[in-house]
Amino acid sequence: MKTKIKAISKTTIFFILLFLWSYIPIIFFNFDINKLDFLGRIIYSLVCDITFLILIIVAYHKTLIKDFKNFFSDFLNNIETSFKYWFAGFCIMIVSNLIITVIMQGGMATNEEQVRTLIGAAPLYMLFDVAIYAPFTEELIFRKGFRDIFKNKWIYILASGITFGSLHVLSSLTSISALLYLIPYCSLGIAFAYSYYKTNNIFSTISMHMLHNTLAITIYFIGGI
């Protein structure tokens, strides 16, 4: 029981901090972010990301060390398994996105629009944010953290995948019809959760999350050339 309470507390705290960490200096130290210019805001965001990343890595360092050793001890087999589950989720995501694009008459998820805008304005910061920061923080919280709480296979997979996908959509929801984007985002989250359940290695999902986000930002850069 103590272990379960500890897991719930740990995951809940990091889940909340994921969204509130950058506001702590503003709330507790009266830091006025409005006085910063664009570059200053980017640096501020980068410092917040790095400090939170360090915090969560320290908190889960035992899991990261153990899983890193296990993942790379049989790298080719592990990466093949990880890639298989990611690719299945990726295909569902692409197909559902295409169908939704037709229904929405060319629109895209607000979250994706915001990310593309930031990539164009601050490419180096966004490269770090989507290729390193997001894979580590999100996988440790939504995959490792949720797995420590939910022991039932399907409850874990659905809770992890749907929560992950929902937060990417609901955090920037502008219309009821935009809820359709829950399908592609949740499908990827469910694929990552299933992969972690099968492999019990956090690097199976961190590596594929990195791959997915790096491909996305690379495609954007190529398209912008």
Which residues have a Cβ under 8 Å from the Cβ of 225 and sit 6 or more positions away?
none
What is the model's pLDDT at position 113?
Answer: 73
**Longest alpha-carbon distance in the chain:** 55
What is the model's pLDDT at position 88?
Answer: 95
In Å, what is the CA distance from 185 to each residue of 46, 90, 166, 178? 25, 10, 7, 12
DSSP state of 171: T
What is the DSSP code string of 79-92? HHHHHHHHHHHHHH
What does each of the 225 residues of the chain score in pLDDT, given as a tens digit? 788 899 999 999 999 999 999 999 998 888 889 899 999 999 999 999 999 999 999 999 999 999 999 999 999 999 999 999 999 999 999 999 889 888 877 666 666 777 778 888 888 999 999 999 999 999 999 999 999 999 999 999 999 999 999 988 877 667 787 788 899 999 999 999 999 999 999 999 999 999 999 998 888 878 655
At position 203, the amino acid (one-letter code) is: F
What is the model's pLDDT at position 173?
Answer: 66
Q: Is 9 exposed, middle or buried (0-12, 13-18, 19+ CB in 10 A)?
A: exposed
What is the model's pLDDT at position 52?
Answer: 98
User: CA-CA distance, 11 to 119, in Å (whole number)?
Assistant: 29
Q: Is 177 exposed, middle or buried (0-12, 13-18, 19+ CB in 10 A)?
A: exposed
What is the model's pLDDT at position 169?
Answer: 82
What is the model's pLDDT at position 6?
Answer: 93
In Å, what is the CA distance from 219 to each residue of 5, 71, 169, 173, 196? 43, 28, 21, 24, 26
